[in-house]
Amino acid sequence: MIKGPLFSIITINYNDCVGLQRTLDSVVNQSYQDFEYVVIDGGSDDGSKDLLDLYNDKIDYCISEKDTGVYNAMNKGLVKATGQYVLFLNGGDHFYNLNTLEDNYKKIHSEDLVYFNISVALENESYIKTYPTEITFSYLFKDTLPHPATFIKKTLFDKIGLYDEGLKIVSDWKFFILALAKYNASYRYVNTVFSTFYFDGISSDKENVDVQMSERQSVIDSEFSILKKDTEELISLKRLMVDLKASRKIKWLTKFKLINKF
């Protein structure tokens, strides 16, 4: 007998009252409302807690307390979620439109992972990021699945474990690569824009890219040691690309369309 809702939407937030408002409005105003909503706030002091009080009757579980980081907050949400699937729509992000869930919930029914496209919002522009129908190890090494547009069967966490709180940036990536490359999780791609992700530039910061690559390599070393040398070469190439993109000369050449963006 199936118990609980089909899916739980989990939002984590810390001191982003403006972004949280955007997320809450997107969730509570969906035309389809047969889901569980869980909100985990990290003890914000910017008005987020007062905002959550206003939405209290629309949230199934909400807590505001200090945590040890993003993945600790996400794990708190997972522990409380009762849906067959979970979706992380974190503070600031939102569904693509108010009919997103109604238009797509019937596509979520059997696979371990069901992922969609996202709209990426930059400071002055936006673009649609699409994903491959078939996931390969090389793709996962350089990229990941979009957590604001990926439904994860909750039983996967029973097999793999919760998010690794010892990692600062790539724990969700680690979960996906373990699920697909080690545990042979089933998956399905739906070629539809599902949510909007606000890109604040943190992931493109060179220092954070270095942390990301270092953490990814540590996961490869511990979980897929046979690929260590191959991935070290890929990391070197990615760091070179980051340096090139940051180069004034490259930016100048790109600006005047003497070379294409890469």
The whole-model pTM stands at 0.85
Backbone angles phi, psi at 142, to 5 degrees: -95, -15
pLDDT at 202: 52
Residue 237: inside a domain: no
Q: Please tell me the total count of domains within the chain.
A: 1
pLDDT at 201: 47
Helix (H) or strand (E) holding 212: helix 206-223
Q: Residue 190 maps to which CATH number?
A: 3.90.550.10
**Which DSSP string do the residues of 104-137 spell out, in sequence order?**
HGGG-SS-SEEEEEEEEE-SS-EEEE---SS--H
Neighbours of 41 (CB within 10 A): 24
The residue segments making up the domain with residue 103 are 7-167+186-199
Per-run averaged pLDDT (10 residues), the chain, 262 residues: 79 97 98 98 97 97 97 98 97 97 96 98 92 93 93 97 96 97 97 92 62 89 77 63 64 60 52
